[in-house]
Amino acid sequence: MDGLHREKLHGFSGLARAVAHNRTLAADFHLADLFVNAVLLVLGCFLEGTTILLVIVPVLLPAAQSLGIDPVHSGVIAVFNIMIGLVTPPYGLLLFMMSKIADVPLFLPRLLGYKG
């Protein structure tokens, strides 16, 4: 049984090692970093940040470490992507919070200057 099949048998925790052993991503850690950025940004648009940090980051962190990406760098990138995702619609949880704090109605045409 080769190594990749043994990794699949380990279940969810083996997913990170299986991704790390993929030669396409291992050839260039910038490609892996871009992939993680895209995944976290899209997930940040639909899920809350705490959920992403508790479920997704433990899967991605061992893969990033095996590719030579510093864990602190991975954490900062994850937090920034999740923060940008929380401001981005369709969910946009932080938009509602900022609207309430600033006492500005969250109606896009009114924000853009439409008076009608």
pLDDT tens for each residue of 35-48? 888 999 888 888 88
What range defines the domain where residue 65 resides? 3-111
Q: How far is CA 101 from CA 8, 11, 58, 88, 89, in A?
A: 47, 44, 33, 18, 18
Residue partners of 21: CB distance under 8 A and separation at least 6: 3, 4, 7
**pLDDT single digits (tens) 77-106:** 999 998 898 888 777 778 778 888 888 777
Domain tally, the chain = 1
- Cα gap 51→41, rounded to integer Å: 13
* Residue 116 covered by a domain: no
DSSP-derived 3-state class of residue 95: helix
**pTM of the predicted structure, to 2 decimals:** 0.64
Q: What is the pLDDT averaged over residues 49-66? A: 88
